[in-house]
Structure 1
Amino acid sequence: MSKKIPLTLACGDYEIIRPLKDGTVKPDGIDLTVLTAMDSTTRHWRFLRNRDFDMAETSASSYVVARDSGYEINALPVFLHRRFRHGFVFINTSKGITKPSDLIGKKVGIKSFLVTAGHWMRGILEHEYGVPHKSIEWFAELDEDVDFTPPADLKINRLPHDKSVEQMLAEGEIDALIHSSLIKPIVNKDPRVARLFLDYKAEEKAYFAKTSIFPIMHVLGIKNEVLEAHPWVAINMFHAFNEAKAITMKRMENPRIVPLAWYREAWEEQEELLGSDPWEYGLSERNRHTMETLAGYSYEQGLVKRPWPVDELFVELGQGRKRGVEFRI
């Protein structure tokens, strides 16, 4: 009987990994345990700090800082979570904030400074709207996934355990908040809180049209010791992730599986705006540009000691020209 190596994968409970989780897709040579019952911030901490998993979906911005700090990890160019971020900038409605430049000199909450959602939005605000990240006083609720020394002129306040950035925004203790998720005051329609970008989808579409960036939130981290002991795991897992996504996307084309009236129209709009595979893995020209931008923000914001080329951030997956495409006996 052939022997497979046991590996753990921690990731979100996404449709695009469902065939891996239910065993429809079996990575060649690997006995995979998939763990999905934890939130993102817990998973990132447990992988980066505790080293609990062999592989894990982890914060892209925290990963860049971890590599710069010498953590014994690498990553596969598998991007399980992407999201445009203009719709996750929230304001207190009593503060007179009507446009991005009004954030200059304001108090802005974040979950933590390395959260990728905030990292992207800081860069976007600076480059697209003229709001320097150092012109803002930041209030972080959580400890960082990875310790770093902020530049001396970067204003970051770490909140005590009993403080919540969502509550502080609603009560006016801070002026604005950049979050990774929909916050409770928005869900509950609290009149004290609103979005900065009222037509955020239009802003996001314009941003993509200009930059071709569909922001990558997470990369697929893998321990160096796994790669050293079994270097073939990287390519085999990459193939498995691609196979799982292909199966899922084929299934998701069918509007009958989703209880939404205009689901198929939304699917077709996405394809028209973002292309046939906006969730593509690998270092395509577009993915390379996106990761170069994110890593560039890390250096620009003083989070890493040197610029990180994209090729240094990901495992080499080359199999030779025209190999690995068509299987023949």
Structure 2
Amino acid sequence: MNMQNGVLHLSAALKRYPHTEGLIDGKITVPGVVLDCQVVEPIHRAFAPMARTQAYDVSEMAIVTFLQAKAYGKPLIMLPSVLAARLQQGCIVYNKRRGPLGVIDLPGARVGVRAYTQTTGMWVRAILDGTYGVPSDKIEWITFEGGHLEEYRDPAFVQRAPAGKEMLQMLLDGELDAAIFGNDLPSHEDIAPLIPDPAAADQLWYGQHGFYPTNHVAVMRSDIAQAHPAAVQSVYTLLQRGKDAAADPVAVRKRVPDGMDAMRAALDMIISHCERQQLLPRKISVDEVFADSLAFLGAQMR
């Protein structure tokens, strides 16, 4: 953060999406506040520095990372704005050359995931549990890195892969039965979705729940919010205007909504499954999550 000619400049880590392009390129502005955007690829590399040391003034952050940061008392507030969301059932895959594998075969199976705390992994486990009746602790989870919060410790049913191992190669070599990938979903002739016709399964899930699973939200340093309360509204307005400027704003807001009311159902489910999957050190309520930004945004959050 710095002040230049009466304008507050805030450092920001954002991924380039159709609804953030205008912010990153400086084409969408508000008086008095400028986001000095840094594009971090992959964006998850921004999450640990933001959660641990508040390395940016404003940042995109995985929702599970934020909930853990909240539980551990990190000085961050979540703005009521979803930045990334997707339907998830195509994210769990297996090696079809090693024979058929279905959800029914997952209890006792070795399933890879980048980190147990990864939000995509949380959502896939939530769907396996809630839709298919396979709870997380019945699977042997193999991870390749730790969580973004140093205080967190994985449950006993989670193991770390040997040093130097890569998830895709372990899956191809038969050292894993299945694996969960996010934005890095591999395109390989031997790799197939574990859930048959995941697109149809996702549409059925969406029809039942009415929202896209939230992956990333926007967060802000608490000290910046307290020192410059008007900046919270300004940053929120920038995020909203970015969505309005997208080629199809209606479709964008359907996938990545703004506002407490639009986000509540997804957040309630996320918190419930985070508790069930042993991702949180204490109970958190939806109202607690929204309380900090509500103090700055008031009715604008609805």
TM-score, normalised with respect to structure 2: 0.90
1:92 equivalent among 90, 95, 105: 95
Alpha-carbon distance between aligned partners in 1 of 2:240 and 2:219, rounded to the nearest angstrom: 16
Task: Look up the match of 2:153.
Answer: 149
Task: Look up the match of 2:272.
Answer: 296
Describe the SS at the equivalent of 2:70. Answer: helix
* Alpha-carbon spacing, 1:158–1:199, altered in 2? closer, same or farther (3 Å): same
* Stretch moving more, 96-105 or 65-74: 96-105
Alpha-carbon distance between aligned partners in 1 of 2:289 and 2:204, rounded to the nearest angstrom: 29
Alpha-carbon distance between aligned partners in 2 of 1:217 and 1:115, rounded to the nearest angstrom: 9
Task: Look up the match of 1:167.
Answer: 169
Alpha-carbon distance between aligned partners in 2 of 1:102 and 1:67, rounded to the nearest angstrom: 36
Equivalent AA in structure 2 for residue 283 of structure 1: M
1:279 maps to 2:282: no
Task: Look up the match of 1:176.
Answer: 178
* Alpha-carbon spacing, 1:26–1:144, altered in 2? closer, same or farther (3 Å): same
Determine if contact 1:234/1:317 at 8 Å carries over to the other structure.
no
Describe the SS at the equivalent of 1:63. Answer: helix
Alpha-carbon distance between aligned partners in 1 of 2:212 and 2:301, rounded to the nearest angstrom: 28
Equivalent AA in structure 2 for residue 287 of structure 1: M
Determine if contact 1:166/1:183 at 8 Å carries over to the other structure.
no
Bigger Rg, structure 1 or 2:
1
* Stretch moving more, 87-96 or 74-83: 87-96
Determine if contact 1:97/1:103 at 8 Å carries over to the other structure.
no
The equivalences for 1:234-313 within 5 A come to 234-248=232-246, 251-252=247-248, 277-284=254-261, 286-313=262-289
Describe the SS at the equivalent of 1:119. Answer: helix
Shift of residue 177, structure 1, vs aligned partner = 0.2
Runs of 4+ that moved beyond 4 A = 94-97, 317-321
Determine if contact 2:229/2:296 at 8 Å carries over to the other structure.
no
Alpha-carbon distance between aligned partners in 2 of 1:177 and 1:226, rounded to the nearest angstrom: 39
Task: Look up the match of 2:126.
Answer: 123
Equivalent AA in structure 1 for residue 58 of structure 2: M
TM-score, normalised with respect to structure 1: 0.83
Unaligned runs of 5+ in 2: none
Alpha-carbon distance between aligned partners in 2 of 1:139 and 1:225, rounded to the nearest angstrom: 37
Determine if contact 1:88/1:182 at 8 Å carries over to the other structure.
no
Determine if contact 1:235/1:317 at 8 Å carries over to the other structure.
no
* Stretch moving more, 165-174 or 232-241: 232-241
Describe the SS at the equivalent of 2:59. Answer: strand
CA RMSD of aligned residues (A): 2.4
* Alpha-carbon spacing, 1:194–1:40, altered in 2? closer, same or farther (3 Å): same
1:23 equivalent among 23, 26, 35: 26
Shift of residue 276, structure 1, vs aligned partner = 7.0
Shift of residue 319, structure 1, vs aligned partner = 5.5
Alpha-carbon distance between aligned partners in 2 of 1:320 and 1:41, rounded to the nearest angstrom: 30
The percent identity for this pair of structures is 24
What CA deviation, in whole Å up to 9, does each residue of 1:72-110 have, x standing for no partner? 111101111101110111112255443212111100000
Describe the SS at the equivalent of 2:83. Answer: coil
Determine if contact 2:95/2:178 at 8 Å carries over to the other structure.
yes
Determine if contact 1:74/1:221 at 8 Å carries over to the other structure.
yes
Shift of residue 198, structure 1, vs aligned partner = 3.2
Describe the SS at the equivalent of 2:195. Answer: coil
Alpha-carbon distance between aligned partners in 2 of 1:293 and 1:27, rounded to the nearest angstrom: 34
Q: Which has the higher strand share?
A: 2
Determine if contact 1:296/1:307 at 8 Å carries over to the other structure.
no
Describe the SS at the equivalent of 2:229. Answer: coil
1:232 equivalent among 230, 233, 247: 230
* Alpha-carbon spacing, 1:317–1:23, altered in 2? closer, same or farther (3 Å): farther
Alpha-carbon distance between aligned partners in 1 of 2:25 and 2:286, rounded to the nearest angstrom: 32
1:223 equivalent among 214, 221, 235: 221
Task: Look up the match of 1:11.
Answer: 14
Shift of residue 117, structure 1, vs aligned partner = 0.3
* Stretch moving more, 45-54 or 201-210: 45-54
Shift of residue 213, structure 1, vs aligned partner = 2.7
Describe the SS at the equivalent of 1:81. Answer: strand
Shift of residue 246, structure 1, vs aligned partner = 0.3
Alpha-carbon distance between aligned partners in 2 of 1:98 and 1:108, rounded to the nearest angstrom: 12
Determine if contact 1:141/1:158 at 8 Å carries over to the other structure.
yes
* Alpha-carbon spacing, 1:243–1:175, altered in 2? closer, same or farther (3 Å): same
Shift of residue 318, structure 1, vs aligned partner = 6.5
Shift of residue 21, structure 1, vs aligned partner = 1.8
